[in-house]
Structure 1
Amino acid sequence: MITQGVKVTDRCRACGGTTTVDVGQFFDEGMLCWGTEGQCADCSDGWCEQDCGPVTPENIRQALLQAHGAARLRLSGDVPSLVPVLQALRSARELSLGEARAQAAQLVETGFIGTLVEMEILAVHLRKRAIQVSVEPAASPRPNDNRNG
C-alpha cells in the first residue's frame, strides 16, 4: 500500500473549538482512496470519512501538497508507441480517448505533477505496460498546480 497523510487543525463545526483532522490519500487494491478523520478537543464531535475514485477532493490534495510538496512523474525511457501509454492513462483515470491523448502528450513533454500517491499510482499502471517511468520530488513544490498528474 502506498500512503501519505498529514494532520491539520480546523474549527469544530459543533462548538467552534479546535479539531485535529487527519487527512490522507492511499493506494489500495488498485484504487486511489482518501480519507479524513477528525476529533474535537473541546467536545465529543468526531467523524471518519473514506472514499475511492479517480479524483481526490481538492482540500485533501492541497493539504498533502502543502505538507509534503509535489511529486513529478516522468518517462525514463523511450516510448516506441503511445498506445500502451494511452491504455494506462485511460485505465488509471477513466479518461476518454481525447483526454488520454492530451495527457499522454503532456507526459512525454514535461511529465505530471501531483501528490506522491497520485504519481505512484500512475507509475504502477504505466509499468504494467512496460513503460519506464520515474517518480521524484518536483523541482519546486507548486500546490496550486492544476490536477495534471
Structure 2
Amino acid sequence: MTGQTAKIAALCECGSAAVRQVNQFIDHGELWWDAEFTCDSCGTYLCEHAGPGAAPDDVRVALLAAHGPARLRLVEPVSSLVPALKVLREVSVVSLSQVRELVEKLSHDGVVGTLSEIELLKTRLRLRGVPVDIDR
C-alpha cells in the first residue's frame, strides 16, 4: 500500500498545542485520506475523516510540504494518447479541456501530485498500456 503521513501543529479547544495527523493512501485501487486530531494535555482524540476520495487542499499541502511532489511522465512516445485521456478523465474531477492539458503535461514536464495520487495514476495508466514512470 502506498501512503504518506504528515503532522500539522494545531490548537486544541483546551488551549494547548495539539497535533493533526493527515494521511493519504491507496486502498483496493481507490485513493483514500484520513485525519486524526490528538491533544496530549487533555486527552482529546478525534478521527476527523476517514474515507475514499480526493484529499482537501490543506491535507495535500501538508503532504507535499512534508514529502515533496511526485511527478509522472511518459517514458516513451505513444502512438495514441486516447487511453491516457480516458484514465485522466476517470480519475480527475476536471473538464475535458483540463484533461487535455494534463495529457500534454504528461508528455512533457509531467503531472505533479502527492505520491499516492501519482501512484494511482501510474497504475491505471499502465493497465491501459500507457508507459509512464514516477520521478521523485
After TM superposition, the score normalised by the length of structure 2 is: 0.91
Query: Could you tell me whether the CA contact under 8 Å between 1:89 and 1:125 is conserved in 2?
Result: no
Aligned to 1:76: 75
Where in structure 2 are there 5+ consecutive unaligned residues? none
Query: How much identity, in percent, do the aligned residues show?
Result: 40
C-alpha deviations, 1:69-119, integer Å up to 9, x for none?
111111101111011111111122244433322211121121111111111
C-alpha deviations, 1:114-136, integer Å up to 9, x for none?
11111111101110111111112
Aligned to 1:58: 57
Q: Which runs of 4+ in 1 moved over 3 A?
A: none
Give runs of aligned pairs for residues 110-149 of structure 1, distance below 5 A: 110-137=109-136
Where in structure 1 are there 5+ consecutive unaligned residues? 138-149
Aligned to 1:145: none
Q: Using the alignment, how far apart are the partners of 1:6 and 1:24 within structure 2?
A: 7
Q: Using the alignment, how far apart are the partners of 1:3 and 1:90 within structure 2?
A: 23
Query: Could you tell me whether the CA contact under 8 Å between 1:73 and 1:135 is conserved in 2?
Result: yes
Q: Using the alignment, how far apart are the partners of 2:113 and 2:89 within structure 1?
A: 17
The root-mean-square deviation of aligned C-alpha atoms, in Å, is 1.4
DSSP-derived class of the 2:102 partner: helix
Give runs of aligned pairs for residues 1-149 of structure 1, distance below 5 A: 1-12=1-12, 14-48=13-47, 49-53=49-53, 55-137=54-136
After TM superposition, the score normalised by the length of structure 1 is: 0.84
Aligned residues: 135
